[in-house]
A and B are shown apart, each in its own frame.
Chain A
Amino acid sequence: SQQGEEDPQALSIQEGENATMNCSYKTSINNLQWYRQNSGRGLVHLILIRSNEREKHSGRLRVTLDTSKKSSSLLITASRAADTASYFCATRILTGGGNKLTFGTGTQLKVEL
């Protein structure tokens, strides 16, 4: 089963609105990363948050991490049509495994004009 599970599976919003996606995971982690995937393309790294961090910002992105609840959220503010993509969380487990990431099932975001 997937380490990470995103919620919702699909999200449709209007341009200018904020989009929030959630990720839950099962085991202790070293860090959690968010990636974006445009249709037919590979994944692009967006942001990384370490297990000892609670919140991180990058441009219009805001990520939170609650290790007690084993959950993270990705907030995209003032969304644009170009933000339409699938978003995946990925976890790096605490010990062993090299830099192997375990990906969630993704949230499909559609931003309409």
Chain B
Amino acid sequence: GAGVSQSPSNKVTEKGKDVELRCDPISGHTALYWYRQSLGQGLEFLIYFQGNSAPDKSGLPSDRFSAERTGGSVSTLTIQRTQQEDSAVYLCASSFDRGLAQPQHFGDGTRLSIL
């Protein structure tokens, strides 16, 4: 079916506001990942969900960042009290399972700008 879908594609908000970013993975994919990409940089891992297991939150930069995955499908990444350094493209990816050689399928990202 369709690929990974992310919304919104762009978000501009004022410093201090909370934002929610949404990711709809490929149907049937049990693994879901969030990454952050700053301008001209590589991808920084944020959080990883696999099935019903506890998520790997080791990449979240601060307690202002949190993520949920409801029903093993859609995920939301929430950033509270946004700061200017949170400005980046937030990318979501999914893979069929946690197999070692599974490629990750990416959405086009949400470009977040904090004024």
Contacts and interface: CB of A to CB of B under 8 A. Distances in A.
A100 B42 contact: no
A87 to B, nearest CB: 11
B108 to A, nearest CB: 5
Interface residues of B, number: 27
A59 interface: no
A88 B42 contact: yes
Contacts of B109: 41-42
A100 B33 contact: yes
A41 B106 CA distance: 9
Contacts of A42: 4, 91, 93, 106-109
Interface stretch (B13-21, B43-51, B71-79, B80-88): B43-51
A45 B50 contact: no
A90 B100 CA distance: 13
A30 B100 contact: yes
B42 A99 contact: no
13 contacts: A31-B100, A42-B4, A42-B93, A42-B108, A48-B103, A92-B101, A99-B48, A99-B50, A100-B33, A100-B48, A102-B45, A103-B35, A104-B42
B99 interface: yes
Interface string A88-109: 1010100001111111111000
Interface of B: 4, 31, 33, 35, 41-43, 45, 48, 50, 56, 91, 93, 95, 97-109
A28 B105 CA distance: 24
B48 A98 contact: yes
Report the contact-size class of chain A (Cβ under 8 Å from the partner).
Answer: 20 to 34
A99 B96 CA distance: 10
A74 B56 CA distance: 30
Given A88-B42, A106-B42, A100 B103 contact: no
A112 B34 CA distance: 33
Nearest to B95: A99
B104 A40 contact: no
A48 B91 CA distance: 20
The residue in A41, A90, A100 that gathers the most chain B C-beta atoms within 10 A of its C-beta is A100
A43 interface: yes
